[in-house]
């Protein structure tokens, strides 16, 4: 008896959460978490590479939103969907992210050559 | 198979799906593991032959065909060391990462018409992408071992793989363009019939680009003469210097797995997949896809066909390894950036124009009208046309 | 006796529960959890290489989410380009920072707290806005998408095959093809690669006056951290 | 060989060779040998080469157009013309066109009706002119090579006194002299070969500038520079008239070409453009002079305008009606004035160039230049240009113009002769004789003696250059120009004396009547004969003949006065006669050559060849017949030239000429050799006339009073106005501007600058303050961004009242 109760509770909970299909909001929440952690990563990391990773995370979170809004699978009846555009824009975002990574790395390399560090707190030459 | 379980056996659906999945996984795993054993043994024998030695002779009969099994047992029994100063978590994770990468790639690899883990309509893409991930484990290993040799090996491999993905991608895109689909099964289907239909013989450009593909494939799986990552003479054993025991064997399985994978990919993309040089089944009047049992044998034959081709590819790689000297890193880069990439690009354009002028290859191109091929480009996987009207929404995931 | 009964009941209960599970949702939850967890892990670790490792995992998990959302082409792209690009990132990170002082540059706790607060505020805003529209929260119809690679390819060539040709010709800017952006992006990529190669080319080490002190400080801070 | 292509080639080369040498000497002259000695060789070689080419051209010409003997019968002559005419217009039997070739080498500008081109118009006259000019120029070059040797080393000019009393000292200008000489020849040949009036004008001006260079060769001497300026300015006066004439021609006829030329019309179609000659004397009228349509329409502009107005709608009708009316208008005399003005205008140019009354004053001063220059200017090049142009332009001249020309010539010849009587400067005597001989030529042209005038031009060229060179060698020997210091030089310099005697005899036209004579004998006789026949047909103008005869008498007198004073008798100045010596051979040789030619130039060879005959061949169409016309000065008859060859007139003229010449020589001998009459006594008797002549009829004073003084006065007035008024105004304006600028500067410094500086400093301080915000820390920026985003979101959501919690 004392064994069954928690099982049932778990089962009902699981069935309650797991039994109905996900909605756009789920994706949005995931995107939000990725985005936020990217931003925090940018805000907190002192390592230039860390900041680049933060940028990647941010873009990725944005991509999740695009895919969510574009996905025909998540298209509830009546709720408008941007259809292919979502995926197309996501692809563009990915491409530009790759380009951005290349340039950013080049910049980081230069920074390292000049300052012999990748600590961007040292990059305050523009400080007023 | 899932339907079979659900309908006839009457298992609950989730169980049926799980069973199916696990069976597939099991099969693939065995292909890799067993394949690794066999190939290791084969490689030792071939190396011995090429170097005029005998190789393993004692273990298990005359040819020592149990040698690698014995080695496996030895490896299992070995104590695995971890150098202190190593990054423990990554050090442990690295082998699994690279093994998983080459293992995942098998998911989308069709052995016969529907002998496939999961049919993806971007199969080619998926396989190449996941193959690219394998090097990731290598880098982790190199870094986590806290050893200069490992680090250098990892660096070399990373640079090499990343740069060789460019020509490799170009070569892979060519059959995709010809078949008008990224679905491996569709690509193989398009080459059914006599061997003249293979994309290898589609036109001169594809013939050239096949060899470019072979080169890049050998490089991207770090086999000699591109095996700088584990250049014994310079870096003791490259990225897996510090590894021993089971983790080391995982690396090995990953390597042989990816070797097999690229060979299979070559077979599917250029050499007609499971279609033999002679369409025996068609001559016998058997048609694929129908559910009756005779066709299971047809598919088994096709499966054997594919495995034969990919095994052949693997053997060729071994042959090359024990024949050619190792390149320097700058030579490796030169080969990639100054030869493979431009050639691949040129051949790509060539194939494109050939397709415009002589659609359908040398033989069929003279017979088939051009419009057919162009429509073929627009066909979705499985031949359903995507051009007309909104995309039809197919099978339901959930009843 | 009792045990068997109990076991049966448990088994049947388990059957029922499992039968009730929507596997698609389950997979989504798994991937989402992995993605989010790895993202947070990226934030929390100080070690560059581990950060990159978590990042790659997170991106891979996101690719899985894409697959689940029916955008398998984008997923494959994500795996190939994103993960590949991050791989390069990782390589460079290791190359730059393999020497001891740079592997982990610690951030002052105050910054971490501040960043946390700001991040929390942002997260709150985003989540609120995610829940703000009712139709977004409605469960999906659960139809799997038709393979979208071909329509995407056609769209990049400027043809929208997903439009209904029988419907009124939709030629407004949103629904028309992507040929121009596609070309622009390709040229942009080329330019970026050239530029990156130029920036990162090997030049002899030269420290201007103003920066020399900064470099010294950097060494000092490196020693401190 | 085809003369149409050969002659332009030969003559063109002959024309350009001096240019080549000019350029060569211009750039490398001083470096040619010591002090540029070789430049003489270069220039001489050039001119000799062009002489050879001209001779070749002459040979070509004769081989194509053999010359018949001068026939006194118009028909025979005309036949000979017709036969000798290469492409003869068979239809006009008695009025054949002379053989001529024309064409363009290079077109400077072609727009609308105007076509300026460098072209050629070659007929017998051109060829002869080439030969004569190049020959004389060659002689003068050779002569000058000896004469100018002073210029080889540094040259001290004893006539120029510097402020410190010393003499002017300068390096020699040998090469420069020959450079100008070459350019001079080039320009003259350009005039001769020119195919249209525009080109003639160009080279006309070139000749002018060359004369300016050469007359002002010793430009340190005040007199020399004055003479150069005088020559130049006086010529400009004439050229002004020439420009008017050219404008009249072009404005009315739209062409300046002599011969018909093919050119593109405004529509760009290749068409044949009628030249001046064919316009004025078209075949339609059998080459009789008639006012061209263009001039008629031009004059009747108002009529044309109203007709065009009437047919404003149908222009082609208007055109046809105008065409139909043109002849009436011509009959009514429209356009005559225009043609007259054109002729007079061109003649004005010639008046200036060949020193006719009233513009002759520059020529006597022109002797300030070195003697070879004087020889060139007086004989072959400059003054000849005027007469040549008149000859070339002759067909366009109406009888009225001819009358004007005749009177101008008559006046000139008499005037100059009288002045020459009393001149004591040897070169001045020659100068005035030149003027009067030119007067003869003009007179001849004016009275219809085309051949006579040009014939005299050629013969005169020979003996006048001879005379000048002789005087040059005399001056070279005595270092003075004053005849009163000479005398008895015949013994010391026999060659000079002999050749000069030949020259004098030639110029007075000595000869055995009806048998043989020197060159002048033929030319002057034909002139007198023509004058006689003219005054016979027009009794009212018989004064012309009288003037000509009297001129002959005077000529004989002053020429021999010159010769006697110089060579005969006893030396008047021992010092000079001691140092006198015969000139070097390089100077004597040209004298001899020229002397021979001065003798034979007039003869006609047994084959009938002679200058006169050749000129006869070049006679313009329609000038061979007697013409009776005249619009402005009453009826006028221009007798045909061949009529003056008939016995009576010819004999009378010859006898008259011989008598006058003999009388002149006798008088001179009486006064200067036999001392029967004392020149001083004569001068005392005719004191007023003597002084009047001595003062050259006060022409210079006259011009000075009429033109120069007024101009100077106006100039001084203008300058005083300039200084007194305009400068004052400008200074005032400037002063005001300075004051205003000062005020403005003050405002600028205090207010504007203050404002700007205030703004700048304010910005600066603000920047210093704001600088603190710029932490330069990337991570803080990220935080700012995030915070800003969140804040904006919250703000927007609150403002829009969208319930987030919903």
Rounded (5°) CA angle C57-C61-C64: 145
Q: What is the pLDDT of residues C122-143, one digit of tens each?
A: 898 888 888 877 777 776 655 5
Q: Do chains B and C touch (3 or more CB pairs under 8 A)?
A: yes
Q: Average pLDDT, stretch B252-266?
A: 87
Q: For residue B161, which of B221, B110, B117, B206 has the smallest C-alpha distance?
A: B221
Helix (H, G, I), strand (E, B) or coil at D112: coil
Average pLDDT over all residues of chain B:
77
Residue from the list A85, A91, A124 with its beta carbon closest to the beta carbon of C77: A91
- CA dist C193 and D573 (Å) reads 108
Q: Average pLDDT, stretch B124-138?
A: 83
Under 8 Å CB pairs connecting chains A and C tally to: 326
CA atoms within 13 A on the CB side of D534: 29
Describe the crossing of helices C48-68 and A24-44 by its angle, rounded to 10 degrees: 160
Q: For residue C142, which of A86, B397, A64 has the smallest C-alpha distance?
A: B397
CA torsion sign, B333 to B334 to B335 to B340?
Answer: positive
- CA dist B314 and B144 (Å) reads 30
Q: Does A121 touch chain D (CB under 8 A)?
A: yes
Q: What is the pLDDT of residues D328-370, one digit of tens each?
A: 888 777 888 888 888 899 999 999 888 888 888 888 888 888 8
A69-73, C97-101, D43-47: range with highest mean pLDDT: D43-47
User: What pLDDT sits at residue A37?
Assistant: 93
- Contacting subunits of A (3+ beta carbon pairs below 8 A): B, C, D
Instruction: Give the gap in angstroms from C-alpha B27 to the nearest C-alpha of chain A.
Output: 30
Least confident range of A89-98, B66-75, B113-122, D291-300: B113-122
B72 token code pair:
């496996």
Cis peptide before D358 (omega within 30 of 0): yes
- Global pTM reads 0.51
Q: What's the distance, CA C208 to chain centroid?
A: 38
Q: What is the DSSP letter of D39?
A: H
Interface test with C, best of D781, D782, D788, D793 (most C CBs within 10 A): D793
Is-contact D144 D177, C-beta < 8 A?
yes
Q: Which residues of D touch A127 (CB under 8 A)?
A: 774-777
Burial tier of C159 (Cβ tally within 10 Å: 0-12, 13-18, 19+):
middle
Is-contact B217 B165, C-beta < 8 A?
no
Q: Taking 50 as the threshold, does the pLDDT of residue C217 lie above it?
A: no
User: What pLDDT sits at residue B93?
Assistant: 85
Q: What is the pLDDT of residues D20-34, one digit of tens each?
A: 999 998 888 777 777
Strands D114-123 and D270-273, by their bridges, are unpaired
Q: Which parts of B180-291 fold into alpha helices (H)?
A: 184-190, 204-220, 245-270, 280-284
Q: What is the pLDDT of residues A73-111, one digit of tens each?
A: 776 555 555 667 788 888 889 888 888 888 888 888 888
CA torsion sign, D141 to D143 to D146 to D152?
Answer: negative
Interface test with D, best of A25, A41, A42 (most D CBs within 10 A): A42
Q: Taking 80 as the threshold, does the pLDDT of residue D643 lie above it?
A: no
Q: What is the DSSP letter of D166?
A: P
Average pLDDT over all residues of chain D:
83
Burial tier of D28 (Cβ tally within 10 Å: 0-12, 13-18, 19+):
middle
Q: Does A75 touch chain D (CB under 8 A)?
A: no
Least confident range of B279-293, D162-176, D247-261: B279-293
Return the bridge partners of C32, or none: none
Is-contact D236 D186, C-beta < 8 A?
no
Q: Which residues contact A41 (CB under 8 A, 6 or more apart)?
A: A50, A51, A53, A54, A57, C42, C43
Q: Taking 50 as the threshold, does the pLDDT of residue D86 lie above it?
A: no
- CA dist B20 and B4 (Å) reads 10
D490 token code pair:
């015949």
- CA dist B147 and B154 (Å) reads 11
Is-contact A41 A50, C-beta < 8 A?
yes
Burial tier of D334 (Cβ tally within 10 Å: 0-12, 13-18, 19+):
buried
- CA dist B384 and C3 (Å) reads 56
Q: Taking 90 as the threshold, does the pLDDT of residue B327 lie above it?
A: no
Interface test with A, best of C9, C43, C203 (most A CBs within 10 A): C43
Residue from the list A18, A53, A92 with its beta carbon closest to the beta carbon of C26: A18
Is-contact D487 D531, C-beta < 8 A?
no
Write the CA distances from C154 to B121, B179, C159, integer angstroms. Answer: 15, 15, 5
Would the ipTM clear 0.95, i.e. be above it? no
Q: Taking 60 as the threshold, does the pLDDT of residue B375 lie above it?
A: no
Q: Do chains C and D touch (3 or more CB pairs under 8 A)?
A: yes
- CA dist D146 and D282 (Å) reads 52
Q: Average pLDDT, stretch B213-220?
A: 89
Q: Does D801 touch chain A (CB under 8 A)?
A: no
D34 token code pair:
């010591």
CB count, 10 Å around CB of B131?
A: 25
Residue from the list B90, B133, B393 with its beta carbon closest to the beta carbon of C49: B90
- Nearest chain B residue to C157 by CA distance is B378
- CA dist D63 and B313 (Å) reads 102
D191-205, D644-658, D666-680: range with highest mean pLDDT: D191-205
Which CATH entry fits the domain spanning A22-122: 1.20.1290.10, 1.10.287.3510, 1.20.1250.20, 3.30.70.330?
Answer: 1.10.287.3510
User: What pLDDT sits at residue B275?
Assistant: 78
Is-contact D682 D671, C-beta < 8 A?
yes
Q: Average pLDDT, stretch D144-151?
A: 82
More confident residue, B23 or B371: B23
Q: Does C207 touch chain D (CB under 8 A)?
A: no
Q: Taking 60 as the threshold, does the pLDDT of residue B395 lie above it?
A: no
Q: Taking 60 as the threshold, does the pLDDT of residue B391 lie above it?
A: no
Instruction: Give the gap in angstroms from C-alpha C15 to the nearest C-alpha of chain B.
Output: 9
Least confident range of B4-18, B104-118, B365-379: B365-379
A23 token code pair:
């909605």
Q: Domain coordinates of chain D in residue numbers?
A: 696-770, 775-806
More confident residue, B327 or B278: B327
Under 8 Å CB pairs connecting chains A and B tally to: 3
Percent of chain D residues past pLDDT 90, beyond the cut: 17
C9 and A45 in contact by Cβ < 8 A? no
Q: For residue D414, which of D567, D526, D527, D555 has the smallest C-alpha distance?
A: D555
Q: Which residues contact A99 (CB under 8 A, 6 or more apart)?
A: C188, C189, C192, C193
Is-contact C130 A27, C-beta < 8 A?
no
C128-137, C180-189, D681-690: range with highest mean pLDDT: C180-189
Instruction: Give the gap in angstroms from C-alpha B390 to the nearest C-alpha of chain A.
Output: 11
Q: Taking 50 as the threshold, does the pLDDT of residue D702 lie above it?
A: yes
Q: Average pLDDT, stretch D605-620?
A: 78
User: What pLDDT sits at residue D730?
Assistant: 93
Is-contact A55 A35, C-beta < 8 A?
no
Q: Which residues of B touch A21 (CB under 8 A)?
A: 398
Q: What is the pLDDT of residues C69-90, one digit of tens each?
A: 878 888 888 888 877 776 666 6
Q: Domain coordinates of chain B in residue numbers?
A: 1-77, 80-379
More confident residue, B398 or D255: D255
User: What pLDDT sits at residue D88?
Assistant: 36
User: What pLDDT sits at residue D113?
Assistant: 67
More confident residue, D636 or D176: D176
User: What pLDDT sits at residue D146?
Assistant: 83
């Amino acid at each position: 008896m004392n064994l069954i109760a928690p099982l049932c509770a778990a089962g009902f909970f699981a069935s309650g959460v797991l039994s109905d299909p996900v909605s756009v909001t789920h994706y949005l929440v995931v995107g939000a978490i990725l985005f936020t952690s990217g931003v925090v990563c940018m805000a907190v990391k002192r390592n230039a590479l860390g900041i680049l990773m933060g940028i990647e995370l941010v873009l990725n979170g944005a991509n999740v939103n695009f895919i969510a809004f574009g996905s025909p699978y998540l298209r509830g009846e009546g709720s408008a969907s941007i259809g292919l555009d979502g995926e197309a824009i996501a692809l563009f975002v990915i491409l530009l992210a790759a380009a951005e990574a290349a340039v950013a790395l080049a910049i980081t390399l230069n920074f390292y050559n000049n300052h012999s560090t990748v600590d961007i707190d040292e990059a305050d030459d523009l400080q007023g | 198979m899932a339907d079979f379980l659900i309908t006839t056996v009457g298992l609950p659906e989730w169980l049926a799906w799980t069973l199916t999945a696990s069976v597939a996984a099991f099969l693939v795993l065995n292909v890799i593991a067993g394949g690794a054993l066999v190939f290791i043994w084969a490689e030792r024998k071939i190396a011995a032959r090429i170097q005029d030695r005998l190789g393993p002779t004692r273990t298990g009969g005359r040819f020592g065909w149990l040698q690698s099994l014995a080695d496996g047992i030895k490896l299992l029994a070995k104590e695995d060391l971890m150098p202190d100063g190593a990054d423990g978590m990554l050090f442990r994770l690295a082998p699994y990462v690279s093994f998983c990468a080459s293992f995942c790639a098998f998911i989308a690899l069709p052995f016969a018409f529907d002998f496939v883990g999961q049919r993806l309509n971007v199969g080619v893409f998926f396989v190449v992408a996941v193959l690219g991930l394998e090097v990731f484990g290598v880098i982790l290993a190199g870094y986590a071992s806290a050893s200069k040799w490992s680090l250098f090996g990892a660096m070399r491999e990373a640079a090499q793989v990343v740069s060789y993905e460019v020509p490799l991608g170009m070569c892979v895109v060519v059959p995709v363009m010809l078949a008008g689909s990224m679905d491996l099964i569709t690509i193989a289907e398009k080459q059914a019939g006599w061997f003249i239909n293979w994309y290898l013989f589609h036109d001169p450009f594809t013939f050239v680009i096949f060899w470019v593909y072979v080169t890049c494939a050998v490089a991207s799986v770090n086999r000699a003469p591109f095996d700088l990552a584990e250049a014994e003479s310079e870096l003791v054993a490259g990225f897996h210097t510090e590894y021993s025991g089971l983790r080391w064997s995982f690396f090995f399985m990953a390597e042989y797995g990816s070797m097999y994978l690229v060979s299979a990919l070559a077979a599917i993309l250029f050499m007609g997949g499971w279609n033999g040089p002679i369409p025996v089944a068609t001559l016998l009047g058997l048609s694929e896809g129908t559910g009756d049992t005779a066709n299971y044998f047809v598919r088994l034959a096709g499966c054997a066909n594919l495995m034969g081709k990919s095994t052949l590819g693997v053997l060729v790689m071994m042959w090359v390894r024990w024949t050619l000297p190792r390149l320097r890193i700058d030579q490796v880069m030169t080969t990639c950036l100054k030869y493979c990439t431009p050639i691949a690009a040129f051949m790509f354009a060539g194939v494109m124009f050939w397709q415009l002028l002589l659609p359908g290859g040398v033989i069929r191109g003279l017979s088939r009208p051009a419009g057919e091929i162009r429509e073929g480009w627009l066909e979705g996987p499985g031949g359903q046309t995507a051009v007309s009207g909104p995309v039809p929404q197919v099978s339901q995931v959930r009843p | 006796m009792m045990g068997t009964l109990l076991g049966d009941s448990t088994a049947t209960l388990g059957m029922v529960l499992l039968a009730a599970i929507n596997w698609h949702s389950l997979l989504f939850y798994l991937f989402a959890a992995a993605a989010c967890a790895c993202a947070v892990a990226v934030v929390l670790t100080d070690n560059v290489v581990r950060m990159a490792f978590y990042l790659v995992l997170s991106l891979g998990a996101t690719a899985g989410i894409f697959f689940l959302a029916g955008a398998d082409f984008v997923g494959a792209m994500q795996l190939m380009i994103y993960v590949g690009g991050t791989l390069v990132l990782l390589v460079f990170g290791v190359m730059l920072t393999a020497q001891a002082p740079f592997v982990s540059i610690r951030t002052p706790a105050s910054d971490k707290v501040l960043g946390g607060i700001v991040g929390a505020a942002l997260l709150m805003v985003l989540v609120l806005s995610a829940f703000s529209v009712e139709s977004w929260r409605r469960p999906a119809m659960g139809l799997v998408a038709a393979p979208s690679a071909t329509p995407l390819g056609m769209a990049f060539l400027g043809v929208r095959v997903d439009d209904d040709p029988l419907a009124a010709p939709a030629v407004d800017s949103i629904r028309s093809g992507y040929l121009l952006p596609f070309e622009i992006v390709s040229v942009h990529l080329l330019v970026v690669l050239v530029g990156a190669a130029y920036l990162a080319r090997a030049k002899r080490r030269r420290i201007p006056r103003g920066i020399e002190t900064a470099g010294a400080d950097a060494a000092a801070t490196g020693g401190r951290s | 060989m085809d003369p149409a292509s050969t002659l332009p080639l030969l003559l063109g080369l002959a024309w350009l060779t001096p240019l080549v040498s000019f350029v060569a000497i211009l750039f490398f002259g001083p470096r040619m040998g010591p002090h540029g000695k070789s430049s003489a060789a270069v220039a001489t070689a050039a001119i000799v080469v062009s002489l050879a080419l001209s001779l070749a051209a002459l040979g070509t010409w004769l081989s194509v157009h053999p010359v018949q003997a001068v026939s006194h019968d118009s028909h025979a002559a005309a036949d000979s013309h017709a036969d000798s005419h290469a492409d003869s217009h068979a239809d006009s039997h008695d009025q054949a066109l002379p053989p001529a070739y024309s064409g363009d080498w290079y077109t400077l500008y072609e727009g609308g009706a105007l076509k300026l081109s460098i072209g050629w118009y070659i007929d017998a006259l051109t060829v002869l002119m080439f030969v004569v000019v190049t020959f004389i120029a060659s002689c003068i070059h050779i002569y000058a090579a000896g004469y100018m040797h002073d210029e080889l080393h540094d040259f001290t000019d004893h006539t120029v006194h510097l402020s410190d009393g010393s003499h002017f000292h300068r390096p020699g200008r040998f090469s420069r002299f020959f450079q100008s000489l070459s350019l001079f020849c080039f320009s003259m040949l350009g005039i001769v070969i020119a195919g249209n009036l525009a080109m003639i004008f160009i080279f006309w001006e070139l000749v002018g500038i060359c004369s300016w260079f050469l007359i002002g060769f010793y430009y340190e001497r005040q007199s020399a520079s004055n003479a150069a300026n005088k020559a130049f300015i006086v010529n400009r006066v004439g050229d002004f008239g020439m420009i008017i004439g050219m404008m009249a021609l072009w404005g009315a006829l739209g062409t300046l070409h002599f011969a018909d030329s093919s050119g593109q019309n405004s529509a760009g179609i290749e068409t044949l453009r009628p030249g001046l000659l064919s316009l004025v004397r078209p075949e339609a009228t059998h080459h009789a002079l008639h006012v061209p349509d263009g001039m008629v329409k031009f004059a009747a502009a108002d009529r044309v305008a109203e007709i065009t107005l009437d047919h404003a709608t149908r222009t082609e009708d208007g055109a046809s009606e105008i065409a139909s009316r043109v002849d009436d208008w011509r009959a009514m005399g429209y356009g005559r004035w225009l043609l007259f003005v054109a002729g007079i205008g061109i003649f004005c140019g010639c008046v200036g160039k060949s020193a006719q009354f009233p513009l002759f004053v520059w020529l006597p001063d022109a002797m300030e230049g070195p003697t070879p220059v004087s020889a060139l200017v007086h004989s072959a090049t400059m003054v000849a240009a005027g007469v040549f142009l008149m000859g070339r332009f002759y067909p366009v001249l109406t009888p009225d113009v001819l009358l004007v020309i005749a009177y101008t010539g008559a006046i000139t010849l008499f005037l100059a002769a009288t002045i020459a009587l009393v001149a004591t400067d040897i070169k001045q005597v020659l100068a005035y004789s030149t003027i009067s001989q030119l007067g003869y030529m003009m007179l001849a042209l004016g009275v219809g003696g085309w051949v006579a005038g040009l014939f005299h031009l050629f013969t005169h060229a020979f003996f006048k250059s001879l005379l000048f060179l002789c005087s040059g060698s005399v001056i070279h020997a005595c270092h003075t120009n004053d005849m009163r210091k000479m005398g008895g030089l015949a013994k010391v310099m026999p060659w000079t004396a002999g050749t000069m005697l030949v020259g004098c005899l030639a110029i007075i036209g000595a000869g055995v009547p009806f048998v043989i004579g020197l060159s002048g004998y033929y030319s002057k006789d034909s002139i007198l004969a023509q004058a006689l026949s003219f005054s016979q047909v027009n009794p009212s103008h018989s004064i012309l003949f009288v003037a000509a005869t009297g001129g002959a008498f005077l000529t004989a007198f002053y020429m021999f006065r010159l010769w006697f004073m110089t060579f005969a008798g006893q030396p008047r100045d021992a010092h000079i006669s001691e140092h006198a010596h015969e000139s070097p051979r390089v100077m004597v040789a040209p004298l001899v050559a020229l002397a021979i030619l001065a003798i034979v130039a007039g003869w006609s060879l047994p084959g009938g060849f002679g200058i006169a005959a050749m000129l006869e061949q070049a006679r313009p169409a329609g000038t061979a017949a007697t013409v009776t016309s005249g619009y402005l000065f009453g009826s006028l008859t221009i007798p045909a030239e061949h009529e003056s060859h008939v016995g009576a007139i010819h004999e009378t003229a010859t006898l008259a000429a011989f008598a006058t010449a003999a009388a002149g020589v006798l008088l001179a001998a009486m006064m200067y050799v036999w001392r029967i009459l004392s020149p001083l006594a004569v001068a005392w008797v005719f004191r007023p006339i003597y002084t009047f002549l001595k003062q050259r009829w006060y022409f210079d004073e006259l011009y000075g009073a009429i033109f120069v003084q007024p101009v100077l006065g106006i100039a001084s007035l203008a300058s005083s106005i300039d200084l007194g008024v305009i400068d004052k105004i400008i200074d005032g304006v400037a002063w005001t501007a300075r004051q205003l600028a000062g005020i403005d500067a003050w405002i600028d410094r205090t207010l504007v600058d203050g404002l700007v500086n205030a703004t700048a400093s304010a910005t600066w301080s603000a920047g210093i303050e704001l600088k603190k915000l710029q932490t330069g820390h990337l991570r803080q920026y990220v935080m700012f961004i995030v915070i800003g985003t969140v804040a904006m979101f919250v703000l927007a959501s609150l403002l829009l009242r969208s319930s987030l919690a919903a």
